[in-house]
Structure 1
Amino acid sequence: MKLFFDAGGIQWENVCGVCTDSAPAMLGSKSGFQAKVKMLAPQAKVTHCMIHRYALACKTLSLSLKKVLEVVIKIVNYIKAGALNTRMFKELYKDMNAEHETLLYYTAVRWLSKGNVLNRVFELRAEVKHFLNLQGKHDLLQHYEEELWNERPAYLADIFEQQNQLNLKLQGRATNIIIFHDHLRGFVAKLQNWHRKVNTGNIAMFERMSELQDSMGKEFDPVLKNDILEHLQSLELEFHKYFPDLDDNEAKIVRNPFSVNVCVASMPEAMQDEFLDLRNDSFAKDTFEEKSLTEFWVGMGRYPNISQIAIRVLLPSSSTYLCEAGFSTLLNIKSKQRNRLHVEDDLRCALTDSTTDTPSGS
Structure 2
Amino acid sequence: MSNGNLKPSGLREHFESKHSSHVGTSLEAFKLRRVRYDQKATLSSYGFSAPGKPLLEASYKVSYMIAREKKPHITGETLVKPCALEMAKIVLGEEAAKQLSQVSLSNDTVRQRIKDMSEDITAQVVNEIKQSPAKISMQIDESTDVSNHSQLLLSWDLIGSICTDGAPAMIGKKSGFIAMVKEKAPHVLTTHCVLHRQALASKTLPKKFKEAMRIVVQTVNFIRGRALNQRLFKKLCDEIGAEHGVLLYHTEGRDVDIIQARGKVVAFTRKLPIWSRRVESGNLANFPILDNILIGDGKKLSVEIIQEVKNHLEVLSTNFEGYFSDIDDLTMESSWILNPFSFDISRMSDNDLSKDDFIEFQENPRKKADFERAGMDAKHFWCEQISAYPSLAIRAMHVLVPFTITYLCETGFSALLNMKSK
Normalised by the length of structure 1, the TM-score is 0.62
Q: 2: CA distance between counterparts of 1:63 and 1:262?
A: 51
TM superposition shift of 1:81? 8.7
Task: Indicate which of 304, 307, 315 corresponds to 1:234.
Answer: 315
AA of the residue aligned to 2:181: V
2:56 matched residue in structure 1: none
State the percentage of identical aligned residues.
Answer: 34
Deviations 1:175-230 (A, max 9, x none): 32122222223322333332232233211231211111111212342222111111
Partner of residue 47 from structure 1, selected from 185, 191, 195: 191
Q: Distance in 2 between matches of 1:305 and 1:296?
A: 14
Secondary structure in 2 matching 1:246: helix
Secondary structure of residue in 2 paired with 1:266: coil
1:47, CA displacement in angstroms? 1.6
Give the corresponding residue for 2:339: 256
* Distance in structure 1 (CA, Å) of the matches to 2:225 and 2:181: 45
- The equivalent of 1:19 in structure 2 is 163
**Superimposed CA distance per residue, residues 294-336 of structure 1 (whole angstroms, 9 cap, x where no aligned partner):** 121112233333223212101222221221121233355x275
Which one of 266, 277, 282 corresponds to residue 196 of structure 1?
A: 277
Q: Distance in 2 between matches of 1:14 and 1:75?
A: 46
Please state how far the C-alpha of 1:263 moved relative to its aligned partner. Answer: 4.2
Preserved contact between residue 383 and residue 397 of structure 2 (Cα < 8 Å): no
Helix, strand or coil: the match of 1:204?
A: coil
Partner of 1:273: 356
Change (3 A) 1:32 1:74: closer
2:254 aligns with one of 172, 182, 190: 172
Equivalent position of 2:208 in the other structure: 64
Counterpart of 1:304? 390
Residue equivalent to 2:176: 32
Per-residue deviation, residues 41-69 of structure 1 (Å, max 9, x unmatched): 21111221222112212212112211322
**Separation (CA, whole Å) in 1 of partners of 2:208 and 2:283:** 21
Name the CA distance, whole Å, in 1 between partners of 2:225 and 2:412: 31
CA contact (8 A) 1:15 1:44 kept: yes
CA spacing shift, 1:262–1:49, aligned 2, 3 Å = farther
- Where in structure 2 are the equivalents of 1:315-354 lying within 5 Å? 315-331=401-417, 334=419, 336=421, 339=422
Alpha-carbon distance in structure 1 between the residues aligned to 2:407 and 2:313: 27
Query: What is the match of residue 221 of structure 1?
Result: 302
Residue 83 of structure 1 deviates from its aligned partner by 11
Distance of 1:13 and 1:82 partners within structure 2: 47
Residues 51, 319 of structure 1: 8 Å contact kept: yes
Secondary structure of the residue aligned to 2:327 is coil
- The answer to whether 1:295 aligns with 2:295 is no
CA distance 1:264–1:74, change in 2 (3 Å): closer
Partners of 2:169 and 2:176 within 8 A in 1: yes
Q: Give how far 1:267 is off.
A: 5.7
Deviates more, 1:239-248 or 1:265-274: 265-274
Alpha-carbon distance change, 282 to 81 in structure 1, aligned in 2, over 3 angstroms: closer
